[in-house]
Chains A and B, each alone.
Chain A
Amino acid sequence: QVQLVQSGAEVKKPGSSVKVSCKASGGTFSSYAISWVRQAPGQGLEWMGGIIPIFGTANYAQKFQGRVTITTDESTSTAYMELSSLRSEDTAVYYCARGLHYDSSGYYRYWGQGTLVTVSS
């Protein structure tokens, strides 16, 4: 059974950066799309970007271009999402989710437990 386990909650100052990890187990890592989705308090789901590890090139939502970097470490089956220039509006729960085999456009059967990032001075 595929499991995605994310790193713990973070509290950050405005203007700083945060890096959240997502460790996969129980299945092939390299050929499945991994996406990051965030959810601000009381709000809906927002796709930030995604990557297929074996290809190595990430695709980002226009809203986050220049501020977000998604990477993977195939040796540890871990995906990372780094968000910079943090502002209070970035306070949210950040989820990683596993998509389809060699397909970045599909659905997410497996989700991490979520990581709360709080941006506060």
Chain B
Amino acid sequence: QSVLTQPPSVSGAPGQRVTISCTGSSSNIGAGYDVHWYQQLPGTAPKLLIYGNSNRPSGVPDRFSGSKSGTSASLAITGLQAEDEADYYCQSYDSSLSGSNVVFGGGTKLTVL
């Protein structure tokens, strides 16, 4: 059971727009901690896609965008391409009585139809 909740799967046709949600709570996203997003292709290490809620590292296409509001965050992908088919993970930080930890969402598999 992940601390951050993502839909297990999303899909879209080439050229369409899809969004992936990441729902947390008052001890992580709602506490003001940033949300980051990673893309993982099969058999490879995760790749940083969005950091600090909405910032793109150099080299990441502007088709990818992130946002955060309240206890949730979202990753949007526009102009869907076949190469976008991958697993996507959100990450934040959680601070509660039981300690402070980096936390990940359970991951979302994006299928390009």
Give residues in A with beta carbon < 8 Å to B.
Answer: 35, 37, 44-47, 50, 59, 61-62, 95, 97, 104-109, 111-114
Contacts and interface: CB of A to CB of B under 8 A. Distances in A.
B98 A62 contact: yes
Interface string B26-57: 00000001101010100001111001100001
Contacts, number: 60
B101 A112 contact: no
B99 interface: yes
12 contacts: A44-B2, A45-B40, A46-B104, A47-B104, A59-B100, A95-B45, A105-B33, A107-B34, A107-B91, A108-B36, A111-B46, A111-B47
Interface residues of B, number: 26
A61 B74 CA distance: 25
A9 to B, nearest CB: 13
Interface of B: 2, 33-34, 36, 38, 40, 45-48, 51-52, 57, 89, 91, 93, 98-107
